[in-house]
Amino acid sequence: MYVHGTLSLCPHAAVLSAFVVAFHKWRPLETTKYRRCGRPLAYILLVFMCYNISMVDLRDMTIGEMESFFVELGEPKYRAHQVFSWLYKGVTDFDEMVNIPKVLREKLSGAVYIGRLAILEVQESKSDGTQKFLFGLTNGGGTNVVGADMEMTYANASDADMRCADAVEAVFMKYKYGNSICISSQAGCRMGCKFCASTRNGLSRNLTVGEMVSQVLEATRQTGEFIGHMVVMGTGEPFDNYENLSRFISILHEKEGLGLSNRNITVSTCGIVPKIYDFAKDHPQVNLAISLHAATDGKRSAMMPINNKYKIAEIMKAAKHYTAETGRRITFEYTMVNGVNDSDEDARNLMSLLKGLNCHVNLIPLNKVEGTGFDTVSRKRAEEFAEMLENSGVTATVRRELGSDIDAACGQLRLKKSRE
């Protein structure tokens, strides 16, 4: 929910509430004709004001929303652009925004905040530079409001920090083509894929736009590295949080923000079909990956409950629409599970399903999650499977495993923490 439209009412509400309360003290309202509504009105206004103030995170705003916000504050639009670019330079304290007049900085710090995420844990791979972050979330759906010194780690986090209501993960990876980040879109997930760690405790809540933005900004700050690529393949189903995802993508793409090329962004869905159509329309330059994992409805439904709602035929129709509408190649993810979807027959079914479509198959040997009963396949088997697809004209690669010495697989660290 975005509430900047009500923000300008906050100072008015504050003054009015203070006035009503003061008036009541000076001249008890029982003697006035306002006695029935005076006190309740003051408290309603106070609650309204606090509610609004507590909800507005500057990292939640697109550039257009920030412009309207500044206009509502009675400021020129260019101030929005100045503040926006400070935010995406990583500035977290209004006082560091040196081209903003002091009076305005004070006004801003009284009205909004720069939401941040507490870093509860960082795991770093010794072999390939992969870093996994566990970020703490507050209860309400706003980012943690904390001071400027945020290099908080699990080791030095206070009890209060550890009472963070939930946590999400992001993974920083180094590739030949540059640095990439895998971010989470929800705390938990309600899609129920049987082999996945993220879904084990269900969905806690959607992440706000600011919380998604903060994963990128905090990882950039922590690693000191430029991040030029992003995949939304962490915990959660991005299309189950579509509105926030959509605004988040436009913020990252904004040239005064991080200026991330749309072509360097990939969103992965388990196959929420109507949103595939929306995505093709709203973000035609962003890459789309669909988690297929099986080529027949029987097998797919057994692995992924979402298949009971949207069958493979509907997914293929939406995928064809996406490629036709955007001119982009679509990726299919196929997590390989021993004895479940890794036979020659599975490969043949996959070939006939995908033949002729502008697509690529990304084979992922299962990252074993304790308690699921699913086992992984050997790298050799994954490569044989890829070769079968390639021979039939369907391009396929086996995903390179990064961060194998840490809990880099999706949702594993969060799950481990929740069990501690």
Q: How many residues sit close enough to ligand SAH to count as binding (CB under 6 A)?
A: 19
From the list 196, 249, 258, 377, which residue makes contact with ligand SAH (rule: CB under 6 A)?
A: 196
Exactly one of 131, 331, 335, 341 binds ligand SAH (CB under 6 A); that residue is: 335
Tell me: does residue 332 bind ligand SAH (CB under 6 A). no
- What is the rounded distance in angstroms from the CA atom of residue 339 to the CA atom of residue 201? 26
Q: State which of residues 58, 213, 270, 394 lies at the interface with ligand SAH (CB under 6 A).
A: 270
Q: Which of 133, 128, 291, 106 is nearest to 215 (CA)?
A: 133
Please state, in angstroms and rounded to a whole number, the distance separating the CA atoms of residues 252 and 265. Answer: 9
Mask for 77-116, x = binds ligand SAH (CB under 6 A): ----------------------------------------
CA-wise closest residue to 215 among 230, 204, 200: 230
Show contacts with ligand SAH in window 291-330 (CB under 6 A): 291
164 among known catalytic residues? no
CA pair distance 26, 166, nearest whole angstrom: 46
Q: How far is the CB of 176 from ligand SAH (least distance, A)?
A: 22
Q: Which is nearer to ligand SAH, 83 or 196 (CB)?
A: 196
Which of 206, 260, 367, 417 is the binder for ligand SAH (CB under 6 A)?
Answer: 367
Member of 353, 409, 413, 415 binding ligand SAH (CB under 6 A): 409
Helical axes 379-391 vs 344-354, angle rounded to 10°: 40
Told to check if 195 binds ligand SAH by CB under 6 A, we report yes
| Closest separation in Å from C-beta 170 to ligand SAH | 12
Binding flag, residue 369, ligand SAH (CB under 6 A): yes
Cβ at position 360, least distance to ligand SAH in Å: 14
Should residue 268 be labelled a site residue for ligand SAH when binding is judged by CB under 6 A? yes
Candidate list 364, 382, 406, 408; residue touching ligand SAH; CB under 6 A: 364
Tell the burial category of 301 from Cβ atoms under 10 Å away from its Cβ (0-12, 13-18, 19+). middle
**Residue 269 interacts with ligand SAH (CB under 6 A): yes or no:** yes
The pattern of x and - marking residues 15 through 54 that bind ligand SAH according to CB under 6 A reads ----------------------------------------
Tell me which residues in 230-249 interact with ligand SAH (CB under 6 A): 233, 237
Pairing verdict, β 203-206 and 186-188: antiparallel
Active site residue 189: no
DSSP letter for 240, please: G
Comparing CA positions, the residue from 11, 9, 42, 13 lying closest to residue 110 is 11
Question: Closer CB to ligand SAH, residue 361 or residue 366?
Answer: 366
Binding segment (CB under 6 A) for ligand SAH, from list 99-107, 138-146, 190-198, 251-259: 190-198
Q: What is the DSSP letter of 113?
A: B
Contact 7/52 with Cβ under 8 angstroms? yes
List the structure tokens of 35.
Answer: 């006695």
Give DSSP secondary structure letters for 187-225.
EE-SS--TT-STTTT-EEEEPPHHHHHHHHHHHHHHH--
Beta partners for residue 175, in sequence order: 178
The helix (run of H) or strand (run of E) holding residue 13 is: helix 9-26
Interacting residues of 258 by C-beta distance below 8 A, sequence separation 6+? 88, 216, 227, 252
Can you tell me the distance from the alpha carbon of 193 to that of 409, in angstroms, rounded to the nearest whole number?
14
Instruction: Say if CB 175 and CB 129 are below 8 A apart.
Output: no
At closest approach, how far in Å is the CB of 368 from ligand SAH?
Answer: 7
Nearer to ligand SAH, 55 or 272 (CB): 272
Q: Which of 121, 169, 254, 333 is catalytic?
A: 169
* Closer residue to ligand SAH (CB): 196 or 273: 196
Catalytic residues: 169, 410
Binding site for ligand SAH (CB under 6 A): 191, 193, 195-197, 233, 237, 268-270, 291, 333, 335, 364, 366-367, 369, 409-410
